[in-house]
Structure 1
């Protein structure tokens, strides 16, 4: 815990029951935060992590793509230490293209990946006690620096969320709330990708070194510990954006 946030504050991590979100939860617990672990359906997994980390950790199940989902998360803060950190790591990631995307897929991605976290961030900002510092960290995608058309609806929703992140940083700065983002390249097996394909393409970047969750945790901890930084996006991609890949890495040959 850094002086900016005081001695005991709550961190909210969306999608905190599995994968990258769960790694963030455990790291923040190690750093002394009280955790509100959000999940959509993985309640058993979230409850197991809450029991593991202790320190008053709590679980809230909510679909952030619905209108009232973000409000349910904020309501779950009742009785917890004051909120000071929100990590928007939950995401919908489904394969489509320009030729076959549907209105339903478009709306689903926009609601889950842009509108939902935007509403949650607004509710979080309103819940932060006046005069106390806070931080929002949004998980974007390194592909936004060099877009390719795979995962079409997903990519556009992350583009929208990048805009939300920039505007929130400007709007919330006078309130003492910082807003930053982390943009990782492929870190875990994702979507229709096989483990064999992941092993082949994980290190397909300029550094020839695959990105792992520890890299993302270090980026998060850096942002937490940097009170003068807001409105920034940290690309954690091993320089993959320098390669200008024409397709998503999982569809490329190593």
Structure 2
């Protein structure tokens, strides 16, 4: 794990490289059993007041990229409401602890964003807690590898992927907008899969392509309202979703030019930048964080 956020280091060896021990978890996956353990910036991220006083909503904030973003936002001065599934309560408690340790308010909400009513209630809760929404991070996602191809993708799986990755994002953004002041921002998590789809993740990749289109179209729609909309497109990232949804974890991330997967802590600064006033002229952009994989 990195000890210092700003120290110059060789990025190819800054974090663990495969081969990793083969590991499997039931969905949705948990942080504790992972080997090596993911780095969310616990020991390395140092804030500098870039989000002082902001109120943020982050979906999928219990672990992985969501936890790293929650931690970074808190250390930058933001209060954070984040979602998790019922099964992820233990991970959610750790995220809340990290946010509170940074001196900010943490609100952990168990929420299945596949249902419109749950999305509406979540934004209502955020407004009740904070009075407004300054940053909405649509990060929660579902995937399940199907090496046997499209014939193996059931309607149940397809529906779950679409409703989690697209419907939830659409509803949360729609309900949050009336409570977002000028200067607020929406940040969506897309993926390298939007541009270079893996056949075994066909349905997941479809949604990530749609998120790119949603981001760019919504950004143009909201520009006159002073609200920016951007996305981050990660390559392989070492999160609990990996051992919970992919059959082979031993070489995960080895295909990237860096020769390893990203750690969640390496993605968080991109979200901080896009949420901050330093990105005031940045909207409709996709910030690619792929470890060297070229994207269009």
Place the TM-score, normalised by the shorter chain, in its bin.
0.7 to 0.9
Aligned Cα RMSD in Å?
A: 2.1
Give how far 1:207 is off.
Answer: 4.2
Aligned to 1:106: 158
Return the match for 1:33 from 70, 78, 82: 78
Stretches of structure 1 lacking an aligned partner (at least 5 in a row): 243-254
Stretches of structure 2 lacking an aligned partner (at least 5 in a row): 1-48
Give how far 1:113 is off.
Answer: 0.2
TM-score, reference length from structure 1 = 0.85
Would the aligned equivalents of 2:219 and 2:283 in 1 still touch at CA under 8 Å? yes
How far, CA to CA, are the matches of 1:34 and 1:87 in structure 2? 13
Would the aligned equivalents of 2:57 and 2:136 in 1 still touch at CA under 8 Å? yes
SS at match of 1:83: coil
Aligned length: 235
CA-to-aligned-CA distance 1:101-159 (integer Å, 9 cap, x gap):
22222111111001111110111111113xx3111111111122222322121111222
1:200-215 → structure 2 map (5 Å cutoff):
202-208=253-259, 210-215=261-266
Aligned to 1:162: 212
Give how far 1:211 is off.
Answer: 2.4
Return the match for 1:192 from 237, 246, 250: 246
CA-to-aligned-CA distance 1:184-221 (integer Å, 9 cap, x gap):
111115122444222xxx24223445422232112112
- Please say if 1:116 is aligned against 2:168: yes
Would the aligned equivalents of 1:9 and 1:82 in 2 still touch at CA under 8 Å? no
- Please say if 1:67 is aligned against 2:116: yes
CA separation of 1:109/1:209 partners in 2, compared to 1, >3 Å: closer, same or farther? closer
SS at match of 2:193: helix
Would the aligned equivalents of 2:257 and 2:292 in 1 still touch at CA under 8 Å? yes
How far, CA to CA, are the matches of 2:105 and 2:197 in structure 1? 41
TM-score, reference length from structure 2 = 0.73
- Please say if 1:58 is aligned against 2:115: no
How far, CA to CA, are the matches of 2:129 and 2:195 in structure 1? 41
How far, CA to CA, are the matches of 2:260 and 2:110 in structure 1? 36
Of structures 1 and 2, the one scoring higher in RCO (CA 8 A, sep 6+) is 2
Deviates more, 1:46-55 or 1:168-177: 46-55
How far, CA to CA, are the matches of 1:229 and 1:208 in structure 2? 30
1:87-98 → structure 2 map (5 Å cutoff):
87-96=137-146, 97-98=149-150
